[in-house]
Amino acid sequence: MTAEKLKKSGRKAVLGTAAAMIMLLCLPAAAWGEKTVTLTFAGDCTLGSEEQKRDQEDSFISVSKKEGFDYFFRYFRDLFSEDDCTVVNFEGVLADSPAGEVKNKTYRFRAPAEYAKILTGASVEAAGLANNHTGDYGAQGLKRTQEALEAEGICWFREKRFHIVEKDGIRIALVAMDYRVYVSQCENIRNEIARVRESGEANAVVLLYHDGNEYDARHTQTQDKVATYFINNGVDLVIMHHPHVVQGIEVKNNRTVFYSLGNFVFGGNRQIRTEPYKDRTVSSLYSLVVQAKLYFNDDGSYKGQQMILYPAYTSSAAPINNYQPYRVNTEEALPVLDAIQYDSTTMEIPAANADGEGLARVVLGYLPAEEEPTEAPLAQSENGIPEPANPRPYRNNKP
C-alpha cells in the first residue's frame, strides 16, 4: 500500500462522511474492536492497442494522446483513492518496442511503458498478470511490463509470486493464476497458500482467476470447480476474469465468488460487442466494480466479509468504446444486475439503491467466517444508508 493511500485511508477512518458514520453505528457492539481492510476490484484492463491499429483515430493510443492519461479512470479515481488497495486484471504489455511480438496470436496488445502512469494516476496499487495477454510479446514483453509497473510503484502478482497487502498488522495475500497454471501447478499454489497462512504471513487470501468462455452469460463447470477447490483450501475471496461480460455471484463456505467482472478500461475493443447467447444478449458494455470489506479480530484472525457492488458501463458512447467507464444510476444498473442474476443460481441479487450522488450500489449481506448466526450485518436501505440485514444471501433452487 502506498504512503499516500495509507494517509487517505487513515483520514477516512477518523473523519469519514456522514454516511460512513451511520454505517459504523449500524455495526454490532462486538465489531467496534475489529480491524477492517477494504479492497476494490475492477475488471479486465487493457491500456493499449493492436500493433497495426494503434495510429487509427479511435484506438486507445490515439485517444490517450488526445485526452491525456487522467481521462480513462476519471469517474472512479475518487472511489479507488478511498480504499486500502485497488486491484485490476492487467491484460496486455507495457513496452516501448514491439520486440518479441508473438505474431501467430490473433490479438496482441501493447502500449508504451509510460502508460503505467495511467494506473498510478487512478490510485490503482496492484495488478494481476496471470492472463492470456501478458505473453503477447513473449517473455521479454512480460519482463518489460513488470518493470514498467514497478517503476510506477504498482505491485504485480502472478502464479507463485504473491502480493501482500498490509494494514494495521493485517496481511492479505493476493494470488493470480489462469487455467494453464491451475492444470500444471495447482498443488504448488495450494501448498503456498497453506504456507503463508500457517506461517502468519497472511491473515486472509484473495484469488484472481482467469478462465471461462468469452462473451458467455454463464460461468463454466471449471470455473465453479476451481472456486470450490481453492475456497476449501484457504482462499477467502475469488475474483474471476476473462469472459469480458459480467457473470454471476455465489457464496461457498461463507466466502464470495465473482465469476466475471466484465471489462473495465479495455483498449482491446474499439466497439462494444454484443452477440446473442441462448435467450438473451450479453454485452461488453456492462461492468462490475467490487469493493470487499474484510474484517479481522484484534488478534488478526479472519472474522468475516461484506461486498459492495458498483454497477458500471464501460463506455458512454456505445456502441463506440470511448474507453472511459462510469458508474450508472439505479435505472441504468438494471440490465447489469439482471445479467449478474441470470448466472447467480444460489442467491438473489438485491436491487440497487442510490448513494448520495444518485449512483447505484448494492450492499450484500455480511458473511461471518463460520456459518453461524451473527448480529446485525450491513445491508442497504431505500435511502442508500446501510442498515442491519440477514447475514446470509437468499438461496433458492433455480435451474
Q: What is the DSSP letter of 53?
A: G
Q: What are the extents of the domains in the chain?
A: 3-388
The predicted pLDDT at position 296 comes to 96
The predicted pLDDT at position 371 comes to 61
Query: How far is 293 from 307, CA to CA, in rounded Å?
Result: 6
Please choose, from the candidates 208, 203, 172, 171, the residue with its C-alpha nearest in 3D space to the C-alpha of residue 189.
208
Residues forming a β-bridge with 241: 210
Q: How far is CA 361 from CA 40, 82, 187, 235, 385, in A?
A: 14, 16, 37, 25, 11
Answer whether 86's CB lies under 8 Å from 239's CB: no
Answer whether 285's CB lies under 8 Å from 318's CB: yes
pLDDT in tens, the chain (399 residues): 444 444 344 433 333 333 343 343 344 433 444 899 999 999 999 999 999 999 999 999 999 999 999 999 999 999 999 999 999 999 999 999 999 999 988 999 999 999 999 999 999 999 999 999 999 999 999 999 999 999 999 999 999 999 999 999 999 999 999 999 999 999 999 999 999 999 999 999 999 999 999 999 999 999 999 999 999 999 999 999 999 999 999 999 999 999 999 999 999 999 998 888 777 888 999 999 999 999 999 999 999 999 999 999 999 999 999 999 999 999 999 999 999 999 998 999 999 999 999 999 999 999 999 865 444 344 444 433 333 333 333 223 222
Query: How far is 179 from 177, CA to CA, in rounded Å?
Result: 7
Per the omega criterion (within 30 degrees of 0), is the bond before 335 cis? no
Place of cell 496482441: 108
Place of cell 447505484: 360
pTM of the model: 0.86
CATH tag for 3-388 (out of 1.20.81, 2.30.30, 3.60.21, 3.30.70)? 3.60.21
Geometric angle at alpha carbon 92, from 269 and 99, rounded to 5°: 115
Phi and psi for 61 in degrees, rounded to 5? Answer: -60, -45
